[in-house]
Structure 1
Amino acid sequence: MSAVDPLQDSRTNPLPGPNNKNPYLQGLYAPVTEESTCVDLKVTGEIPKDLCGSYLRNGPNPLNTPVGMHHWFDGDGMMHGVYLENGKAEYRNRYVRSADFIDDANGQCPVAGVMEPATMKREPKVYKDTANTDVILHNGELMALWYISGNPVRLDPRTLDTLREENFGGALPRHVSAHSKTDPRTGEFLFFDYALYEPWMSCGVVNADNELTGFQTVELPGPRLPHDMAFTENYFVLHDLPVVFTEQALRQRQWSIEIANQPTRFGVVPRKCKGEVRWFETDPCYIYHVINAWEEGDEIVMLGCKMVPNPHANGAAFGPYRAMVEVLALNAIPSEWRMNLKTGKCTTRDLDDAIGEFPSINLGVSGQPNRYAYVQAIAKTDTLKFEGFYRYDFQQGNKTSYFYEPGMCGSEVAFAPRIGATEEDDGYVVGLCSHEGTGESEFRIWDARAIDKGPLARVHLPVRVPAGFHATWADAHDW
């Protein structure tokens, strides 16, 4: 195998049709063509001996060369994993073999992507379910999840082989959205779903033994496009945001959204999925990603990345892909919302003015008060690129930062606790990065308390890793 996978179609040959102007099929985002297993990798520096587990990242990677209008979010799911044990590292990547992936691989009629006309869609499917967005660990297995709500796909955490589509013993009433979450204290999987048909939203709980124990529909005035949720010890926090599907979307089951003139609302739902949904209104805003949430006296506190206007968004050079490029020009700042269960009021405040997104925390404090978060620093470029990341200390109200060298762009980082850790930040920050010019890819490890000192170790990968979406950390005992 060559040192770097050839950047075949998108770097050297024009793409067919409108995709020759699609920046999310080229360069940093170009798909790879092989599933690889690479062992005993070269390391600069030293992998800490008290770091044992795996970094796992999901993302889009089209199996076939797109011929119609292609959105970055349409690519088939591909899971990338870096495994650390006894100071050594190995890497593997595997497609997430959802039912739609298998149909396409077998030459059956594909389901259209979100930018293609409704006439291409195959009932009862609305869009191709790629399971390409998120990855979580539950019941000893990985679940790959999709952002428009689909069928969770189970993978083996060590081999990344697809095991099955998950329906929790046939008990799953609907679908599951990306950014559903696992409670580390109970082992429960808390999920939400949204749809183009009523009921517009629902939520549910699956216990540590993979049994559905609660499910509740959530009434909304119409179809919404949330992206994330939060949970605390006793509640879900669901999002009713002012981005809605249009009448055209409802009639034709087509991707068509608009900004609505309405407040942002948070729906607080008891985790038993039995009880009234309490709604808290705040100023209109969109939230792609939550940092964490917890209960504090009479209040629920939620941290997240609040979208703000982006003066740099300009996709004019990308022809039919202008709208996609501008929507993906994420511009968000860390913010706090407090929902008072006694007064029914919601207050908000901004925590910093630095532009960042794709936050991560020590997953061991999910649903409990957290002091630290790691947020990707977004470059002021036409396409979405992570030029570094910030370490926030919310208790002290400060941050430190690490920026990659020119040309190198990161993936979402994850927090990895050291063996025997007892404090929230006792461990490492880990993540993938790739050079947008050469395609060279690395896995890097930082001391979580000193990210500004640079990486402790750089694992050199013999294959290229395209830009992708969300990541997680799994301790070795979870394999």
Structure 2
Amino acid sequence: MANPYLQGAHAPVAREITLTDLRVTGALPESLDGRYLRNGPNPIGEVDPATYHWFTGTGMIHGIRLREGRAEWYRNRWVRGPAAAAQLGEPERPSSGDAGMDLTGPNTNVLGHAGKTLALTEGGIANMELDYELGTVGPCDFGGTISGGYTAHPKRDPATGELHAVSYSFARGNQVQYSVIGVDGRARRTVDVTVGGSTMMHDFSLTENYVVFYDLPVTFDLEKVLGPPVVTTPLPLSDQATLVAGAAIGGVTVPDPITAAAAPTPTDSGIPYSWKPGYRTRVGVMPRDGGDADVRWFDIDPCFVFHPLNAYEVDDTIVLDLARHPKAFDADDERDGAISTLERWTVKLGGGDVTQTLLDDLHQEFPRIDERFTGRRHRYGYTVGLTPGAASVNHTLVKHDLVAATSQIRDFGPATAIGEFVFEPAAPDSPEGHGYLMGLVSHLADDTTDLTILDAATLETLATVHLPVRVPTGFHGNWIPD
């Protein structure tokens, strides 16, 4: 049986390359001086099609350098975790110590902070620092201030430049960790928060004064890792932990399990998280300067959230815009792959309840905003329209005007595959939404790829950087200005 993640738009590429002086049509905005980077899974060498899952592939960073209206280079480089370095016949990078489990290269997100380029993942796996040209420097523990792994989805406060994050791991048990990384690249604050179980908290929300936790019914499932119990003599803890770390790699390195949620997940998929009926589903709100005892919890109906769009405060309420999934990781329920919709949740801090309102019933995910408005009231959001089904190929970008309650769709055509588009303002003081959207568009007929720059106001193409190679579909990326 063919594996959909090893063919078509998802198929991995077999080698690293460097291309220079790339062909450009249209006019690249002169203000775009930096690198567009995107992360995604790309296994090294041959893999078993019967067992391979997209989330388990070694991370590969794809990067395009823009300067003075030119596209200077394209590079793709595997992220050298210990397993990846061994497969490539290279020495292991310095040990991460307490940075997290040293397994495969992080394959979920990539961003810049404190002058460093970071390849990110979640679930207790060590993240990696990269050099400017995407070579792997070594594990990142933020100067020894963060232990046990980080997250794939930190949020930068536009007022301070600090990175806020919520990290989870099966090793943390029923706790997650909120952290604030300063502009110097070191954690200035960490807070352990108690939740209902060993939950997969893929993302979180941030406002000017609060942190919002999503305590949802997808939890670590040891039986999916070790199989049903068949012996009564327990393994030594260290051996058990080793087994968990090795077998769980499909879940804890996975980051963005959108595709896994789009179809029932087989019990042998290697993803050690599953839907837990009866789990108390809650939203937690904590003041940024608060602690575990200060979290206020609000019950909601069971569902799952991979990615919020944004959050902000209005008087005594918190507004959460997000993509809501009815379920995730439920192998016994064919509705697991039900359509994910854009919703607004209003948390009434005084009244103690949550109101849920449908904003758009289109099947969509990978929401992004003009990140100068992170934690502040926003008007515009950008999502990818999804085709239901595992390993689907998506070709529509959606712009939401949440004030006018309208949406605009840019369809790149059925012979294309796109991922999330990221926003970059035309100038630091431009009004919200005045700038550029950029993302990769794969052309399936000839195995070429474009970095497409759109006018964010009209969704019309301003410029296209043409790559004579195929870039496989992936997860998240960012524009990192120089």
2:326–2:336 contact (8 Å) kept in structure 1: no
Deviation at 1:428, TM superposition (A): 0.9
TM alignment of 1:309-348, pairs within 5 A: 331-348=339-356
Q: Does 1:42 align with 2:23?
A: yes
Q: How do 1:179-198 residues align onto structure 2 when only pairs under 5 Å count?
A: 179-197=153-171, 198=173
- The structure 2 residue matched to 1:99, chosen from 79, 82, 102, is 82
Q: Does structure 2 conserve the Cα–Cα contact (< 8 Å) formed by 1:57 and 1:472?
A: yes
Contact 2:61/2:78 (<8 A) preserved = yes
| Counterpart amino acid of residue 411 in structure 2 | F
Aligned-partner residue type, residue 444 of structure 2: E
Cα offset, 1:36, TM superposition: 2.1
Separation of aligned partners in 2, 1:207 and 1:382: 39
Letter matched to residue 130 of structure 1: G
- Maintained 8 Å contact 1:78/1:132: yes
User: 2: CA distance between counterparts of 1:470 and 1:247?
Assistant: 28
Q: One-letter code of the match for 2:473?
A: A
Query: What's the CA shift string for 1:69-116, capped at 9, x where partnerless?
Result: 11100111111112222111132222222234224434999xxxxxxx
Query: Which amino acid counterpart does residue 461 of structure 1 have in structure 2?
Result: L
1:33-112 equivalences under 5 Å are: 33-67=14-48, 69-89=51-71, 90-106=73-89
Where structure 2 has 5 or more consecutive residues not aligned to the other structure, the ranges are: 93-98, 227-239, 249-271
Seen in structure 2, the aligned counterparts of structure 1 residues 258 and 95 have a Cα distance that, compared at 3 Å, is same
Moved more, 170-179 or 247-256: 247-256
Q: CA deviation at 1:244?
A: 1.9
Aligned length: 429
Quote the residue 2:325 is aligned against.
307
Q: Residues of 1 paired with 2:280 and 2:109: CA distance?
A: 27
Q: Hey, what's the Cα distance between the residues in 1 that align with 2:224 and 2:175?
A: 13
In structure 1, how many angstroms separate the alpha carbons of the residues matched to 2:399 and 2:370? 12
CA spacing shift, 1:329–1:416, aligned 2, 3 Å: farther
1:424 equivalent in structure 2: 432
Of the three residues 294, 298, 301, the one matched with 1:280 is 298
Cα distance, 1:263 vs structure 2: 4.5
SS of the equivalent of 1:425 reads coil
Aligned to 1:150: 125
Give 1:462's aligned amino acid: P
Shift of 1:21: 2.3
Deviation sequence 1:316-355 (CA, Å, 0-9, x none):
xxxxxx969x899573111111222222222111111111
Aligned to 1:230: 205
Partner of 2:275: 258
2-structure distance, mates of 1:72, 1:295: 37
Q: CA deviation at 1:125?
A: 8.8
Structure 2 counterpart SS, 1:205: strand
Alpha-carbon deviations, 1:10-41, whole Å to 9, x = none? Answer: xxxxxxxxxx5211011111111222222221
Q: CA deviation at 1:229?
A: 0.9
Shift of 1:249: 4.7
Partner of 1:21, secondary structure, is coil
2:218 alignment counterpart: 243
From 446, 451, 457, give the equivalent of 1:438. 446
Distance 2:17 2:51 in 1: 29
How far is the alpha carbon of 1:48 from its aligned partner? Answer: 2.6
Mapped contact 2:122–2:168 kept (Cα < 8 A): no
Cα–Cα, structure 1 residues 130 and 297, in superposed 2: closer, same or farther, change >3 Å?
Answer: same
User: 2:231 is matched with which residue?
Assistant: none
Query: d(CA) in 2 for partners of 1:286 and 1:419?
Result: 36
1:268 counterpart (259, 281, 285): 285
Stretch moving more, 83-92 or 248-257: 248-257
Equivalent residue, structure 1, for 2:255: none
* 1:393 paired to 2:401: yes
Cα pair distance change 1:208/1:371, threshold 3 Å = same
Within the candidate set 363, 378, 403, 1:370 is matched to: 378
Q: For residue 202 of structure 1, report the CA deviation from its aligned partner.
A: 1.7
In the other structure, the counterpart of 1:458 is 464
CA deviation string 1:143-175 (max 9, x = no partner): 21114332221223x422222211122221322
Letter of the 1:49 partner, please give it: E
Cα-Cα RMSD = 2.8
Cα 1:169–1:458 shift into 2, 3 Å:
closer
* In 1: Cα distance, 2:185 partner to 2:388 partner: 43
- TM-fit CA distance, 1:250: 7.6
Aligned twin of 2:188: 213
**TM-score between the two structures when normalised by the length of structure 2:** 0.82
Q: CA deviation at 1:130?
A: 2.8
**Structure 1 residue 468: Cα displacement:** 0.4
Residue 176 of structure 1, aligned match among 113, 133, 150: 150
1:328 and 1:42 mapped to 2: Cα distance?
Answer: 43
Checking the alignment, whether the CA contact within 8 Å between 1:242 and 1:259 is kept in structure 2 is yes
Cα 1:50–1:212 change in 2 (3 A) is: closer
Q: Contact conserved, 2:100 with 2:148, CA < 8 A, in 1?
A: no
Aligned to 1:402: 410
**Is the CA contact 1:374–1:390 (under 8 Å) kept in the aligned structure 2?**
yes
Deviation at 1:398, TM superposition (A): 0.5
CA contact (8 A) 1:291 1:361 kept: yes
Equivalent position SS for 2:223: helix
**Could you tell me the percent identity over the aligned residues?**
35
Q: Which amino acid aligns with 2:135?
A: D
CA distance in structure 1 between the aligned counterparts of 2:40 and 2:104, rounded to whole angstroms: 13
> Which segment is superposed worse, 36-45 or 460-469?
36-45
Q: Is contact 2:303–2:327 with CA below 8 Å preserved after alignment?
A: no
Structure 2 equivalent of residue 319 of structure 1: none
Provide the rounded CA distance (Å) in 2 between the counterparts of 1:86 and 1:63. Answer: 35
Cα distance, 1:380 vs. partner? 4.2
Structure 1: segments with no counterpart, 5+ residues: 1-19, 110-123, 314-321
CA distance in 2: counterparts of 1:66 and 1:300, whole angstroms: 46
